[in-house]
Amino acid sequence: MNNKLILNKQTTLNDAIRLLDLNGNGVLPVIDAKEKLLGLITDGDIRKAILNKNLDLEHIINKNPHKLHINISKNQIVSYLKKIHRRHIPLVDDDDKFIKVFTLDEIEFNLKTNWVIIMAGGLGTRLGKLTQDTPKPMLQVGNKPMIEHIIDMFTLYGFTKFMLSVNYKSEVIKEYFGDGSRFGIEVKYLEEKKRLGTGGALSLIDMKLNEPFFVTNGDVLSSLDYEKLLDFHINVNSVATMCIRKDNYQIPYGVIEIDNKSNIVSMKEKPIQEFFINTGIYILDPTVLSYVPNDEFFDLPSLFDILKNEKKVTKSFEITDYWIDMGTPSDYETIKKRWNYNE
């Protein structure tokens, strides 16, 4: 449905809540008497208002929402929604008149059968008090836990089968997601009785996998095209593909190069060194599971060393899209600011 809230002096918060409930998609367009789009209200906006004890409707409305023109193609809309990590967007005409809300639920996805394994059992010690009572993947980013954003990005590309590796505060994650049915996905759990690193939990998989599967750390967010990554992995005949990202570091000193006779060959003042980093996102073939030690601490990058020694094909896939690792409190603040801006 596309019930709209017409804003005037008589409009109340109760009107907004009633229409949100009728819409059933978690978003309510706000228009004026001439049907010009004034903003949006989401379920998340209402929850925030209640928590902040600020129920003034004018302050609840997002008056600068993302929007697109009604005449652009469906593929363009979907691409844009993936870019901004959203499931819905209002469409307007040349005069900014509201036409409809487009939601990804309107799209019939080509659902994939590949599994996605999210490593969500870490302690998050670098985040200090933030993870004292909450596992790191469950820290709020916008109006939902971080791990749910990771899941959302996969579901945008048709991946709906997830295994969550859990250990620290596992009951919080299991209670929130359950079997995944209320999110329209399938969720299974890999129960770590002890800390198994970023790869050891793969030995706990108790079902036969017949297709390549994704592995991602539970503390990284990216706008990566996961369908493109899967296609790349298959086309290059890789058994293990690691996503990498270019980074750099400026050396804070002048760097001197000398020869074997102590002659100065060159001088570079505070040069910038470029290098690639591991992003914590992988795609693996089921055959590599035989190289993962059973119920032992094992970091996933070690698997690539083993496979290299075994002369197996391993590849890298460069991420040029948005990517961030939530390792420190400052990283967490950066992620929250980005999502609050998008919302």
Give per-residue pLDDT as tens, 105-131: 666 557 789 999 999 876 656 666 766
| Residue predicted with more confidence, 151 or 182 | 151
Read off the pLDDT of each residue in 328-338 and give the average, rounded to a whole number. Answer: 71
| Residue predicted with more confidence, 119 or 86 | 119
Supply the pLDDT for residue 36. Answer: 93
Torsion sign (Cα): 129, 132, 134, 138:
positive
Name the nearest CA neighbour of 215 among 197, 198, 191: 198
Supply the pLDDT for residue 74. Answer: 72
Do β-strands 112-119 and 140-141 pair in parallel, antiparallel, or remain unpaired?
Answer: unpaired
Contact 322, 149 (CB under 8 A): no
Q: How far apart are CA 146 and CA 299, in angstroms?
A: 22
Supply the pLDDT for residue 109. Answer: 59
- pLDDT of 34 above 50: yes
Name the nearest CA neighbour of 314 among 211, 241, 254: 241
- Type of residue found at 60: I
- Sorting pLDDT into bands at 50, 70 and 90, what band is 58? confident
Supply the pLDDT for residue 188. Answer: 95
Read off the pLDDT of each residue in 36-50 and give the average, rounded to a whole number. Answer: 87
Q: How far apart are CA 292 and CA 134, in angstroms?
A: 29
Q: What are the start-end ranges of the E strands in the chain?
A: 5-6, 27-31, 37-42, 68-69, 88-92, 98-103, 112-119, 140-141, 144-145, 159-166, 186-191, 213-217, 220-222, 240-250, 254-258, 264-269, 272-284, 314-318, 323-325
Q: How far apart are CA 39 and CA 96, in angstroms?
A: 11
- pLDDT of 342 above 60: no
Contacts of 29 (CB under 8 A, 6+ apart): 2, 4, 5, 37, 39, 40, 90, 98, 101
Read off the pLDDT of each residue in 17-25 and give the average, rounded to a whole number. Answer: 83
- pLDDT of 26 above 90: no
Supply the pLDDT for residue 295. Answer: 84
- pLDDT of 341 above 60: no
The architecture that CATH gives domain 5-106 is Roll (3.10)
The 10s digit of each residue's pLDDT in 157-213 is 889 899 999 987 888 899 999 998 888 789 999 998 888 888 899 999 999 999 999
- pLDDT of 100 above 50: yes
| Residue predicted with more confidence, 133 or 108 | 133
> How far are the Cα atoms of 123, 165, 199, 339 from residue 149, in angstroms, in the given order?
19, 16, 22, 10
Strand order in the sheet with 186-191: 186-191, 159-166, 112-119, 213-217, 272-284, 240-250, 314-318
The 10s digit of each residue's pLDDT in 217-239 is 988 988 888 999 999 999 999 99
Contacts of 237 (CB under 8 A, 6+ apart): 313
Name the nearest CA neighbour of 74 among 112, 109, 39, 36: 109
Read off the pLDDT of each residue in 138-157 and give the average, rounded to a whole number. Answer: 86
Supply the pLDDT for residue 124. Answer: 58
Q: Please tell me the class of the 112-342 domain.
A: alpha beta
Supply the pLDDT for residue 287. Answer: 96
Supply the pLDDT for residue 131. Answer: 64
The 10s digit of each residue's pLDDT in 257-303 is 999 999 999 999 999 999 999 999 999 999 999 999 998 899 999 99
- Helix (H) / strand (E) element for 338: namely helix 329-342
| Residue predicted with more confidence, 29 or 77 | 29
| Mean pLDDT score across all residues of the chain | 86
Contacts of 156 (CB under 8 A, 6+ apart): 81, 82, 104
| Residue predicted with more confidence, 270 or 79 | 270
- pLDDT of 76 above 80: no
Q: How far apart are CA 19 and CA 128, in angstroms?
A: 41
> How far are the Cα atoms of 37, 126, 269, 312, 314 from residue 235, in angstroms, in the given order?
45, 38, 43, 15, 12
Domain boundaries, the chain: 5-106, 112-342
- pLDDT of 340 above 60: no
- pLDDT of 343 above 50: no
Ranges 7-21, 208-222, 321-335, most confident: 208-222
How far does CA 286 lie from the centroid of its chain?
24
